[in-house]
């Protein structure tokens, strides 16, 4: 189980995904732009839609990879390939997070010529991604907006004994 949690709001995700698009803009194939985007389902679907809009990219394919069950990580398995992307030439592969990099390493076998981009990356996943925006520690679990709901939180003074470390 994670030691730290980092909550990402819809606004923050949108800002970070736009920052990723800005970083990727103009860095596509030499013919002037990206041929398409492969969204890694499910976490990469929303960031990919934002990047596609910002880069004016109309061809959006998806690849479905099963890796997590709640916070328990398993071996990644492709359950729906990205057939429209061919070998990945001219395509961006977009995911929300490069955690260990195992998902992206698996996808590189099928799409070796694609450019791999994530909104967030952890140290163990950095080598598997070509572009990212924000790095978080390996022991941090990111709470994405699609996995959370706003709720009441008691004031700190009511939840921690005096002098206790809140972390």
- What does the alpha-carbon distance between residue 102 and residue 106 come to, in Å, rounded to a whole number? 6
What is the length of the chain?
167
Helix (H), strand (E) counts: the chain:
4, 8
Question: In the chain, where are the structural domains located?
Answer: 4-147
Which one-letter DSSP state was computed for residue 142?
E
Q: What is the pLDDT of residue 23?
A: 95
Q: What is the pLDDT of residue 67?
A: 82
Tokens, residue 126: 């950095």
Q: What is the pLDDT of residue 25?
A: 94
- Cβ–Cβ under 8 Å, residues 34 and 89: no
Q: What is the pLDDT of residue 163?
A: 66
Q: What is the pLDDT of residue 71?
A: 63
Tokens, residue 85: 């992307």
Active-site residue set:
95-96, 99
Q: What is the pLDDT of residue 151?
A: 85
- What does the alpha-carbon distance between residue 5 and residue 152 come to, in Å, rounded to a whole number? 17
Q: What is the pLDDT of residue 33?
A: 85
Model confidence pLDDT, tens digit, residues 140-153: 999 999 999 888 88
Domain 4-147 has CATH 3.40.50.2020: yes
- Dump strand ranges (E) for the chain: 4-7, 36-41, 60-69, 72-80, 91-98, 115-121, 131-135, 140-143
DSSP bridge partners of 41: 64
- Cβ–Cβ under 8 Å, residues 98 and 122: yes
In order of 2, 58, 160, the CA distances from 137 in angstroms are 10, 34, 24
- What does the alpha-carbon distance between residue 94 and residue 121 come to, in Å, rounded to a whole number? 12
Q: What is the pLDDT of residue 133?
A: 98
pLDDT tens digits, the chain, 167 residues: what are they? Answer: 678 999 999 999 999 999 999 999 988 876 668 999 999 999 999 999 999 999 999 999 999 998 866 666 678 899 999 999 999 999 999 999 999 999 999 999 999 999 999 999 999 999 999 999 999 999 999 999 999 988 888 888 887 666 666 55
pTM for the full predicted model: 0.85
The interaxial angle of helices 10-24 and 45-54, nearest 10 deg, is 50
> Please, what's the largest Cα pairwise distance for the chain?
62
Q: What is the pLDDT of residue 74?
A: 76
């Amino acid at each position: 189980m994670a030691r730290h949690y980092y909550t990402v709001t819809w606004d923050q995700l949108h800002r970070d995904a736009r920052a990723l698009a800005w970083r990727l803009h103009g860095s596509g194939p030499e013919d002037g732009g990206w041929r398409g985007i492969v969204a890694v389902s499910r976490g990469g679907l929303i960031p990919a839609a934002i990047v596609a809009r910002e880069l004016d990219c109309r061809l959006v394919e998806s690849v479905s990879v099963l890796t997590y069950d709640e916070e328990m990580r398993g071996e990644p398995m492709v359950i729906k390939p990205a057939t429209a992307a061919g070998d990945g030439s001219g395509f961006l592969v977009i995911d929300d997070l490069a955690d260990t990099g195992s998902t992206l390493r698996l996808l590189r076998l099928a799409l070796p010529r694609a450019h791999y981009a994530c909104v967030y990356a952890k140290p163990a996943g950095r080598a598997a991604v070509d572009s990212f925006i924000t790095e978080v520690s390996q022991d941090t679990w990111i709470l994405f907006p699609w996995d959370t709901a706003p709720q009441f939180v008691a004031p700190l003074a009511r939840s921690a004994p005096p002098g206790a470390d809140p972390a």
